Amino acid sequence: MTLETLKPYLPWITLFVLAGIVGIANPAFFNPSGLIALVADITPLFIMALGMTFAIYIGGIDLSVQQMANLVTVIATVYLAQFGIGVALICIIIGFLIGAISGYITTRLYVPSFVSTLAMGFVALSGAKYLSGERALSMDATLRDRSFGWMFGNTAGVPHELVIAGVLLFIAWFLQKRTTFGRALKAVGSGELAAVASGLNVDRIKILAFAISGTFAAIAGLMFSVKLSGGDANLANGFLLLAIVAVLVGGTPLTGGVGGVVNTVIGTLIVVVIRAGMVYLEIDATQQQMVFGIVLIVAIALTIDRSKLRGVVK
Amino acid sequence: MADTMANAAPAARFLTRDRIIKWAPLLVLGVLILLFPFFEWLEDIRAGEAHAYLIDSRFFSIRNAARIGIAAAPALMVAIGVTFIIIMGSIDLSMEGTVSVCAVVFAFAFLAWGGTVLSWAWLAIPAAMLVGAAMGFINGLVHVKLKIPSFMASLAMGFVGTGLALLLTGGDRTRVEDPIFRSLLTERWFNFPVMVYVALAFLLIAWFIQSRTTLGRNFYAVGGGEELAHASGLNVERVRLMGFTLAGVFFAVGALLAVGRIGIAETATGNNFMFVSITAVVVGGTALWGGIGGVWNTLVGVLIVSVINNGMVVIGLPAYVQDAVLGILVILAVVLSTDRRSVSFVK
């Protein structure tokens, strides 16, 4: 049994070992209603990570997700009164467009995705600051409940956030596993030059992958905005690190090609467990970012496919 | 576009791609410096007031130049640090975390060891630079030894750094009020505060390292073609490690100047340095692919970014436009500096 054969199971093993440790330290962790609440709480992050999976799956990265979510929280708050539930459509379209622009800049203009998405993130931040007037805005409670009240609450003990997360997971899974687009994604992620040589329209596939990432980030932002009942150009700060951690810890390597959206479910659960563990083990909130930064480095080091880096790591 | 021009006619060969790339940043800076006073002139003429172009400009004045210098000095240090890395074809995104940690460590040590430059507290300055070097070295180790692409290794290390700074401060601000240290800002020689001269001194040091030392030449060798450099017997890993360590030292200097500027060290001291410095380096004409450019390009790039930020405020544009302008600028700069024939695909 070598590390290579163990690799696909590493995320599962990590999840169960960590859950076990936290559970032994604090048996209350396994209390079902508490667990469900913990998982439901992280839904916006999960949705964002789900989208990010597509960008990483093709070997890129999307650093704009956090700013995208920020922008959407502001848009949703500002235009809720005017468009009601229609504001969701606006958010999704904006997410798709900004993601597609990042993809276009990456593929057609040859700008590495970490630069293009970082730059587009700042364009989004600019929009968020403009629309919000650099103030924290809040939603009108009745309007919010009328349009988006269905997002939160419980039906037969199942929080609605989990249902939404499940639906989005199914869509993402379907896209990845059951469509030609999904297979093309895998081809691009496994070896881009080979995908080009076999006649795939690689540029279009990559642009679409970034657009999906943007769309999911927008949905995450919308949920977060409804949840906190407001919008602010800094509201979603702190999401970026956790979203990247969730994808990579789940076993989708930075080099792309393997893993996928189901792995991101495991990755997000690992993030939930680590977070819960830190709370129970009384690790200060200020230390969490450091812990996740280190977790990120370990996860990348364990999952990255070095044969794909062709000898040179820049 | 430059390619077609070069091929179109022999007479047009004067405008080769290389020449355009080399001089474009300086040209842009010149145009910007003339453009903002023009907007001021336009505004006053429209309002029916007398306004002599450049002479009556609030932007084109010594006082404003000093303001731009103060804003640019810490950013220049951070950008010079990352310039070495980008010349090697890598990238360093850890500066926000490193700057915060260095600023906080400096402030704590400075206050603990006496609180004035005239006591042993001056040791806090080299201590902060050592901390910067150590963080850069760890960053380099993660990148080189774990074979993680530098953008991700450094991004993760940046998160660790910000977390560490938060851990050290607990979210509090530390004031550094020693008048001698603050003379970085308050003491002026020829209208410019001392910190501008300190930054220029470190620019010269960086230029010396870049052009007169083996290490500097090795940065270009690695960036020009890593396999070739490796084949010719260069210890590429060591060069990279030293590059990241050196970058860490310059981040620390940037942190010291940033603390000198506002007199406060906190977790947020490092905020915004990442995007500003990367934009400055790329806009200055150092190619993201490595091998081209240098610290003088970075000086021009930092000035372009600072002039834009300052000029937009002077002509009355709201601050939020700056983020979008910088975002578009960095994309444009990368696009213009990329030779598409030599790039097969981009991740």
pLDDT value for A149: 86
Average the pLDDT over each of A40-54, B213-227, B235-249 and give the range with the smallest value: B213-227
Q: Which of A54, A108, A114, A278 to mutate to test the interface with B (most CBs of B within 10 A)?
A: A114
Could you tell me if residue A52 is left (phi over 0), alpha (psi between -120 and 50 degrees) or otherwise beta? alpha
Per the structure, the count of domains in chain B is 1
User: How many Å is the Cα radius of gyration of chain B?
Assistant: 21
Q: Indicate the pLDDT class of residue B8, thresholds 50, 70 and 90.
A: very low
Q: Which of A107, A286, A288 to mutate to test the interface with B (most CBs of B within 10 A)?
A: A286
Q: Indicate the pLDDT class of residue A33, thresholds 50, 70 and 90.
A: confident
A295 interface with B at CB cutoff 8 Å: no
pLDDT value for B347: 63
Closest in A120, A202, A286 to B327, CB measured: A120
In a domain, B164, yes or no: yes
A115 interface with B at CB cutoff 8 Å: yes
In a domain, B52, yes or no: no
Distance CA A141, CA A127 (A): 24
Closest in A112, A118, A301 to B148, CB measured: A301
Per the structure, the count of domains in chain A is 1
pLDDT value for B4: 45
- pLDDT of residue A37 exceeding 90, the answer is no
In a domain, B267, yes or no: yes
B156, A311: Cβ pair inside 8 Å?
A: no
Strand segments, DSSP code E, in chain A are 137-138, 154-155, 158-159, 230-231
In a domain, A291, yes or no: yes
* Residue A33 belongs to domain spanning: 3-307
pLDDT value for B227: 77
pLDDT value for B345: 61
Q: Residue written as tokens 């890993």?
A: B237
A126 interface with B at CB cutoff 8 Å: yes
**3-state secondary structure string across A103-120:** HHHHHHCCCCHHHHHHHH
Which residues in chain B have their CB less than 8 angstroms from residue A189's CB?
none
In a domain, A312, yes or no: no
Q: Which of B86, B167, B331, B332 to mutate to test the interface with A (most CBs of A within 10 A)?
A: B331
**CA A181 and chain centroid, separation:** 20
Which residues in chain B have their CB less than 8 angstroms from residue A292's CB?
159, 163
Distance CA A234, CA A128 (A): 9
- Residue that wins the pLDDT comparison between B225 and B182: B182
* Residue B297 belongs to domain spanning: 70-338
CATH number at residue B78: 1.10.3470
Could you read off the pLDDT of B166-205 as tens digits, one per residue? 999 988 999 999 999 999 999 999 999 999 999 999 999 9
Could you read off the pLDDT of B139-160 as tens digits, one per residue? 999 999 998 999 999 999 999 9
Mean pLDDT, rounded, for A214-234: 94
In a domain, B189, yes or no: yes
pLDDT value for A45: 95
B338, A309: Cβ pair inside 8 Å?
A: no
Mean pLDDT, rounded, for B216-221: 94
Distance CA B234, CA A287 (A): 40
Instruction: Tell me what the pLDDT averaged over chain A comes to.
Output: 90
Residue in chain A nearest B228 by alpha carbon: A312
Mean pLDDT, rounded, for A174-202: 92
DSSP letter string over B7-71? HH-GGGGGS-HHHHHHHHHHHHHHHHHHHHHHHHHHHHHHTT----TTTT-SSSSHHHHHHHHHH
Mean pLDDT, rounded, for B50-77: 93
CA neighbor of B71 nearest in space, from B249, B314, B233:
B314
In a domain, B310, yes or no: yes
- Residue that wins the pLDDT comparison between A72 and B4: A72
Distance CA B23, CA B297 (A): 10
Residue in chain B nearest A307 by alpha carbon: B147
Could you read off the pLDDT of A118-157 as tens digits, one per residue? 999 999 999 999 999 989 999 988 889 888 988 888 888 7
- pLDDT of residue A307 exceeding 80, the answer is no
- pLDDT of residue B342 exceeding 90, the answer is no
Q: Under DSSP, is residue A195 helix (H, G, I), strand (E, B) or coil?
A: helix
- pLDDT of residue A232 exceeding 50, the answer is yes
Instruction: Tell me what the pLDDT averaged over chain B comes to.
Output: 90
pLDDT value for B3: 45
Distance CA A265, CA A43 (A): 10
Q: How far is A287 from chain B (nearest CA, A)?
A: 6
A254, B149: Cβ pair inside 8 Å?
A: yes
A309, B275: Cβ pair inside 8 Å?
A: no
Side chain identity, residue B94: S
In a domain, A33, yes or no: yes
Q: Indicate the pLDDT class of residue B265, thresholds 50, 70 and 90.
A: very high
- pLDDT of residue A285 exceeding 80, the answer is no
Q: Per this entry, what is the length of chain A?
A: 314
Q: How far is B23 from chain A (nearest CA, A)?
A: 21
In a domain, A313, yes or no: no
- pLDDT of residue A283 exceeding 80, the answer is no
Q: Under DSSP, is residue A138 helix (H, G, I), strand (E, B) or coil?
A: strand
CA neighbor of B20 nearest in space, from B333, B266, B258:
B333
Mean pLDDT, rounded, for A91-108: 96
